[in-house]
Amino acid sequence: MVPVAIAECSDIGPAAKMVYIVVANDIRKNKTSQLGHRVIADVTCCGVNTVTRALAKIEALGFLRVKHGLNGRKNTYRLGKLPVPKMGTPQNGDTPKWGRNRPQNGGATVPKMGTKYREEKRRVSKDTPPKKKRTPEEAAKYRALKDAVAAEFYPSGVPRSEGPAFGKIVADYVSVGATPAEIQLRVKRYREGWPSAACTARALVKHWDQFSEDVSKRATDPSRVRAKAGAADKYEVHRP
């Protein structure tokens, strides 16, 4: 976690902040740190000279206390005193209850607005009337109709990929006033009247009204519809 005072400090650059983070994390683990400049440079992906200048700047600001080693020994780093951040965020890792843009911090009041998508979604949700809850009788009828459609057209179970579409199909059957017994009857009429057409749940509800009569008065098979006599006379036929 980056202290707010380090993140807000404008006296050091991004490279120096990364150097501080690496050294500070090592100090929190071992109470002190003796990382070499080359190790810090490898971790931060910076040059050794950049690390040297960054550590000198951090030491000058008092963010780190450095005990310089003599006779080729490594330096020892300890955490220094951080300045009070501008936004007054606590330094013990607690989550602040307010931000810098609040009036008490000298900022403007943050408007309670979302993105364009959220605003549009909020407006639509307000304009759309709430869905009417089903009564226990309607819920039982819906479940029975759902089971009948699944047993008739999905004997091995409804695939997960067709779950949302299956719910809409069942809603269409509810809108036409279908019943489990009527579904079985009209499936039989569909297959006898249109033997070459695939009988699916969507196709049956689409042509629901055409199979309200007996099989003897069944509708015309769409795959066997013939064109009217003379319909192609307006086209010229070129023979070789």
Number of residues that this document lists for the chain: 240
Cα of 55 vs its chain's centroid, Å: 42
What backbone phi and psi angles, to 5 degrees, belong to 76?
Answer: -115, 125
CA-CA distances (angstroms) from residue 218 to 60, 180, 181, 187? 95, 20, 18, 12
Closest CA relative to residue 192, chosen from 215, 169, 213, 210: 215
- pLDDT at position 212 over 50: yes
pLDDT of residue 125: 54
Q: How far apart are CA 138 and CA 193, in angstroms?
A: 32
Q: Can you give the chain as a three-state secondary structure string?
A: CCCHHHHHCCCCCHHHHHHHHHHHHHHHHHCCECCCHHHHHHHHCCCHHHHHHHHHHHHHHCCEEEECCCCCCCCEEEECCCCCCCCCCCCCCCCCCCCCCCHHHCCCCCCCCCCHHHHHHHHHHHHCCCCCCCCHHHHHHHHHHHHHHHHHHCCCCCCHHHHHHHHHHHHHHHHCCCCHHHHHHHHHHHHHHCCCCCCCHHHHHHCHHHHCCCHHHCCCCHHHCCCCCCCCCCCCCCCC
pLDDT of residue 107: 47
Q: CB under 8 Å to 177, separation ≥6 — which residues?
A: none
Q: Which fold has domain 4-90?
A: Arc Repressor Mutant, subunit A (1.10.10)
Give the pLDDT band (50/70/90) at residue 49.
very high
- pLDDT at position 224 over 70: no
Q: How far apart are CA 173 and CA 175, in angstroms?
A: 5
pLDDT of residue 210: 85
- pLDDT at position 89 over 50: no
Q: CB under 8 Å to 183, separation ≥6 — which residues?
A: 145, 148, 149, 152, 173, 204
Most confidently modeled range among 83-87, 141-145, 233-237: 141-145
Residues 180/145, Cβ–Cβ less than 8 Å:
yes
Give the pLDDT band (50/70/90) at residue 92.
very low
pLDDT of residue 110: 44
- pLDDT at position 122 over 80: no
Domain boundaries, the chain: 4-90, 136-221
- The overall average pLDDT reported for the chain is 75
- pLDDT at position 205 over 70: yes
